[in-house]
């Protein structure tokens, strides 16, 4: 039994922090995560630097990562449009992630377009990525609730998920951007989606605002999902989703999976050390419950 972890701290974890984190700290974070055994690390994003100033150094981050790490670890980057894809390609990236919201309010605030316009935009990215040999992963945001529109229906999530898969994404990561969902919501959503989409093509991306993220992972795992996104020290939040707290902490995820006898290939001790280190660098409390507990032993 094994689970694939997609570590998202260098992108999702940092994008919401207003004080600019030094490029070398970002690079050291990626190197430490790789040394802990993480094989997929979302490194940064090529989005408009006016929208997300924190990640304006995407090119420099990629340039400074050790060649050995670049060849041994998958380092996808987030892109909102073909312009971002081209920048990623110039940095020799071989996987990008595109993102759409299931809901209109967040779509407008996050990427300044409607859901249907965003689908046209990402289709262009997927089409342009193919001849470049760049793999494309998809994200769907606001799977349970939108900060502006309120609750999301499974039908809204299904529409965009199926579109992304049909357009050529190899996998779609389902984001509870606000971190409001519970295992009951997971049951309802996956109960619907899994009638239409193979479980191998879905991933879980939970935020921990209401402390439900790990329970949602366990529920998703029981329903057959085997890929989960998480963020060291629970870093994260979205600048365009007010009130949303950090992502599921990678330490909490690995702790739980270890106890379930599920292998992840990740060294928990090294993760805990890295979580303590990055929390100190950022001057933030450690958002991982397991990480903080293990660090204090
Ligand atoms: P816009 O202002 O509507 O678009 O932004 P535009 O095409 O008019 O471009 C405006 C300026 O941005 C132009 O520059 C473009 O060149 C530049 P100017 O001529 O004014 O100097 N630009 C770019 N620069 C660098 N890289 C690019 C790029 N594209 C345009 N790729 C746009 C539209 C989509 C660009 C903008 O809204 C944007 O970048 N949004 C990104 C927001 C973001 O990153 N949000 C966080 C990620 S999503 C998330 O966190 C959720 C997720 O984690 C899942 C979950 O947690 O649930 C995925
Ligand atoms: Mg997130």
DSSP per position, 5-30: EEE-IIIIITTT-SSPPPHHHHHHHH
Q: How far is the CA of 32 from the centre of ligand 2 (A)?
A: 20
Q: Which of 113, 142, 169, 238 is catalytic?
A: 238
- 169 classed as catalytic: no
Indicate which residue's Cα is closest to atom 56 of ligand 1.
177
**How does pLDDT run along the chain (297 residues), one tens digit per residue?**
999 999 999 999 999 999 999 999 999 999 999 999 999 999 999 999 999 999 999 999 999 999 999 999 999 999 999 999 999 999 999 999 999 999 999 999 999 999 999 999 999 999 999 999 999 999 999 999 999 999 999 999 999 999 999 999 999 999 999 999 999 999 999 999 999 999 999 999 999 999 999 999 999 999 999 999 999 999 997 778 777 779 999 999 999 999 999 999 999 999 999 999 999 999 999 999 999 999 999
Listed residue (69, 6, 68, 17) closest to 202, CA to CA: 6
Q: Which atom of ligand 1 is nearest to the CA of 207?
A: 56
Which pLDDT does position 244 carry in this prediction?
77
Indicate the top mutation candidate among 7, 42, 47, 79 to test ligand 1's pocket, ranked by most ligand atoms within 8 A of CB.
47
**Is 141's C-beta closer than 6 angstroms to any atom of ligand 1?**
yes
Parallel, antiparallel, or unpaired: how do β-strands 145-146 and 150-151 relate? antiparallel
Please count the helices (runs of H) and the strands (runs of E) in the chain: 12, 11
- Among the atoms of ligand 1, which is closest to the Cα of residue 97? 58
Quote the pLDDT of residue 241.
77
Among protein residues, the one whose CA lies closest to atom 29 of ligand 1: 48
What is the four-CA torsion angle of 270, 225, 164, 229, rounded to 10 degrees? -20
ipTM of model: 0.97
Please give the distance, rounded to the nearest whole angstrom, from the Cα atom of residue 48 to the centre of ligand 1.
4
Quote the pLDDT of residue 2.
97
Question: Which of 228, 226, 202, 201 shows the shortest CA–CA distance to 213?
Answer: 228
Residue 214: what pLDDT? Answer: 98
Look at residue 210 in the predicted model and tell me its pLDDT.
Answer: 94
CB 41, CB 10: distance < 8 Å = yes
């Amino acid at each position: 039994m094994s689970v694939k972890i997609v570590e998202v701290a260098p992108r999702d974890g940092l994008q919401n922090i207003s004080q600019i984190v030094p490029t070398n700290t970002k690079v050291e974070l990626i190197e430490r995560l790789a040394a802990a055994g993480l094989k997929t690390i979302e490194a940064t994003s090529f989005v408009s630097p006016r929208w997300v100033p924190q990640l304006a150094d995407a090119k420099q981050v990629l340039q400074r990562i050790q060649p050995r790490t670049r060849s041994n670890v998958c380092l996808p980057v987030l892109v909102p449009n073909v312009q971002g894809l081209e920048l990623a390609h110039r940095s020799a990236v071989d996987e990008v992630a595109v993102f759409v919201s299931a809901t209109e309010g967040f779509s407008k605030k996050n990427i300044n377009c409607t859901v249907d316009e965003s689908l046209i935009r990402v289709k262009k990215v997927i089409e342009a990525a193919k001849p470049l040999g760049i793999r494309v992963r998809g994200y769907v945001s606001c799977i349970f609730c939108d900060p502006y529109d309120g609750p999301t229906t499974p039908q809204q999530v299904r529409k965009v998920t199926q579109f992304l898969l049909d357009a050529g994404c190899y996998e779609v990561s389902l984001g509870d951007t606000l971190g409001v969902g519970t295992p009951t919501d997971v049951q309802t959503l996956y109960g619907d989606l899994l009638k239409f989409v193979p479980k191998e093509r879905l991933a879980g991306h939970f935020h921990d605002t209401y402390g439900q993220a790990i329970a949602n992972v366990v529920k998703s795992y029981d329903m057959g999902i085997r890929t989960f996104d998480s963020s060291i020290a629970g870093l994260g939040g979205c600048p365009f989703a007010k009130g949303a707290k950090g992502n599921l902490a990678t330490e909490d995820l690995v702790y739980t999976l270890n106890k379930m006898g599920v292998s992840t290939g990740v060294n928990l001790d090294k993760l805990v050390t890295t979580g303590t280190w990055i929390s100190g660098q950022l001057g933030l409390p450690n958002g991982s419950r397991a990480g903080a507990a293990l660090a204090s032993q």
